[in-house]
Chains A and B, each alone.
Chain A
């Protein structure tokens, strides 16, 4: 158990819909990262937050947005969903930008 929690574990929704994925980092970790992993693919970095502030952006679509709240949990919002958005979404946390990351179990999103 990495100490990072993600909800929900699975999500099935239709095209055009909007979903919110939630992540609670390890106790004390200030950095939260979001990754997308399509079937048998690598980790695509989406976005990073540090202590509530957006710190880095990767290949995140405009239809996607995220935020980190004062209690340090984070949410990833995906809107106008397309079939190609079906993937595993991981959240990770770390004590700082260059520290090792601890990954949550992921949320598997299926868009039908």
Chain B
């Protein structure tokens, strides 16, 4: 069945440094979604990527979907303390959605 792997599991950065989390699927995806869960909160939908090679930006966040539609990345430029939390990718394949294990980001001021 479909598997979604996400790395790294943890990332600790100094405020102002960049951060990237990667997501890889064992199957070709119809779309991929990204979610953020703040400490003590619930996952919140950030964005959905559908097209091969698609790149979307939300302020300091850049999301990419691979050409083969099997991998994706989320890059945060110049992290801020408000970026702390766990970032999950979720791959959709044949209407089945599977979440990655998440990357927990901590930011040192």
Q: Nearest residue in A to B42 (C-beta to C-beta)? A: A103
**Is A101 an interface position by the 8 A CB rule?**
yes
B96 adjacent to A97 (CB under 8 Å): yes
B102 contacts which of A43, A98, A101, A105 (Cβ < 8 Å)?
A43
A106 to B42, CA, bound (A): 7
**Residues 78-112 of chain A: 1 if any B CB is under 8 Å from the residue's CB, otherwise 0?**
00000000000010100011101111111000000
Residues of chain A with a CB closer than 8 A to B90's CB = 101
Enumerate 10 A-B pairs (CB-CB under 8 Å) in ascending A order: A2-B44, A40-B104, A90-B43, A97-B92, A97-B96, A98-B95, A101-B33, A103-B42, A104-B42, A106-B42
On chain A, the residues within 8 Å of B97 by CB distance are: 97-98, 101
Question: In chain B between 22 and 75, which residues have their CB closer than 8 angstroms to a CB of chain A?
Answer: 30-31, 33, 35, 42-45, 48
Residues in A neighbouring B45, C-beta threshold 8 A: 100-102
Contact between B98 and A45, CB atoms less than 8 A apart: yes
Interface size range of chain B in the complex: 20 to 34
- Determine the chain A residues whose CB is within 8 A of the CB of B44 once the complex forms: 2, 103
Interface size bucket, A side? 10 to 19
Interface residues of B (CB under 8 A from A): 30-31, 33, 35, 42-45, 48, 88, 90, 92, 95-102, 104
Which 5 residue pairs of A and B lie closest in terms of their CB atoms, listed nearest first? A97-B95, A42-B101, A103-B42, A100-B45, A98-B92
Q: What residues of B have a CB within 8 angstroms of the CB of A104 in the complex?
A: 42
A11 within 8 A of B: no
Q: Is the CB of A105 within 8 A of B42?
A: yes
**Does A14 touch B at the CB level, under 8 Å?**
no
